[in-house]
């Protein structure tokens, strides 16, 4: 397939041109979410147009939509002119990709086995749209760090890498810790909604989103790259919008019982 071979040999100029269009798509997607007030992965809101294609078991759908990013980023990162090259991981770029893979291994493999979603579904449209998102971004990350960018070993001591890596790990911790609170909020046989408490829920309604935003801002800093910036935008903008919608849902649902000083996603501010 000629187009597939083109993807494997895409040069930096063409890559950056596509990245510009991909960033524009990111902004348009965030604007759509803001106007539609939709929460693609939530069961809390009814009447969403995203249900037009039907639904799928939530745990199954989650695995199917997240797994492609691991396969695609690994494949394109390991490619070179001679084929698959496993030694690519023994490089500074390999360290960058390892951070990426650690996050998505948790999201695609570990997290779905822990969530209590028996009987719950997600829209098929959401699953398919997310698969496209992950396939495209998996390619962009894998190809850039595998074929287009080389870092000197000294980059591992650069302040940008150290600060970015620290932010990534902190965000990863906040994300997982917040997920733990949500997962254990009610027993398997319980239904209905509760107000989460503990950790960064003291300050914001969506610390899981906050942690993920911090992760990818850290990734953008540690890689100091255009794809790092664009990927951070693809995560931060939609999650910022969805956090504000979710926060308002909590306020409407629980009224005076909901903590008055709790913000949506940025402590003490938004």
**263 three-class SS:** strand
Within a domain: 265:
no
Give the Cβ contact number of residue 213 at 10 Å: 23
Could you report the per-residue pLDDT of 28-41, keeping only the tens digit for each?
988 988 887 766 55
Within a domain: 263:
no
Within a domain: 268:
no
Helix (H) or strand (E) holding 122: strand 121-123
Domain range for 35: 2-257
Could you report the per-residue pLDDT of 139-190, keeping only the tens digit for each?
999 999 999 999 999 999 999 999 999 999 999 999 999 999 998 887 766 6
| Spatial separation of the C-alpha atoms in residues 99 and 223, rounded to whole Å | 11
Phi/psi at 16 (5° precision): -65, -35
Q: Report the number of distinct structural domains present in the chain.
A: 1
Give the Cβ contact number of residue 73 at 10 Å: 25
The predicted model gives 41-57 an average pLDDT of 63
Antiparallel, parallel or unpaired: β 79-80 and 83-84: antiparallel
Could you report the per-residue pLDDT of 225-239, keeping only the tens digit for each?
999 999 999 999 999
| Spatial separation of the C-alpha atoms in residues 242 and 212, rounded to whole Å | 13
Within a domain: 110:
yes
The closest of 205, 210, 221, 208 to 258, measured between CA atoms, is 205
Within a domain: 50:
yes
Could you report the per-residue pLDDT of 189-223, keeping only the tens digit for each?
666 788 999 999 999 999 999 999 999 999 999 99
Within a domain: 269:
no
Within a domain: 60:
yes
Within a domain: 131:
yes
């Amino acid at each position: 397939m000629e187009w597939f071979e083109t993807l494997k040999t895409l040069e930096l100029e063409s890559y950056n041109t596509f990245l510009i269009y991909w960033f524009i798509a990111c902004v348009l997607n965030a604007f759509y979410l803001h106007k539609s007030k939709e929460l693609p992965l939530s069961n809390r809101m009814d009447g969403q147009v995203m249900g037009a294609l039907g639904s799928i078991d939530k745990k199954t759908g989650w695995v199917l939509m997240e797994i492609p990013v691991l396969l695609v980023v690994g494949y394109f990162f390991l490619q070179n002119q001679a084929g698959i090259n496993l030694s690519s991981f023994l490089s500074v770029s390999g360290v960058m990709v390892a951070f990426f893979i650690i996050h998505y291994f948790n999201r695609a493999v570990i997290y779905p086995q822990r969530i209590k979603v028996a009987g719950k579904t997600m829209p098929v449209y959401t699953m398919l749209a997310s698969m496209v998102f992950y396939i495209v971004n998996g390619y962009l990350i894998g190809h850039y760090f595998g074929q287009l960018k080389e870092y000197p070993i000294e980059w591992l001591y650069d302040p940008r890498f150290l600060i970015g890596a620290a932010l990534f790990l902190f965000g990863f911790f906040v994300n997982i810790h917040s997920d733990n609170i949500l997962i254990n909020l009610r027993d398997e046989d319980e239904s209905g909604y509760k107000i989460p408490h503990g950790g960064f829920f003291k300050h914001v309604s969506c610390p899981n989103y906050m942690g993920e935003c911090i992760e990818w801002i850290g990734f953008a800093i540690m890689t100091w790259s255009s794809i790092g910036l664009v990927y951070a935008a693809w995560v931060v903008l939609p999650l910022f919008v969805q956090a504000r919608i979710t926060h308002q849902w909590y306020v409407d649902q629980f009224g005076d019982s909901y903590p008055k000083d709790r913000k949506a996603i940025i402590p003490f501010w938004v």
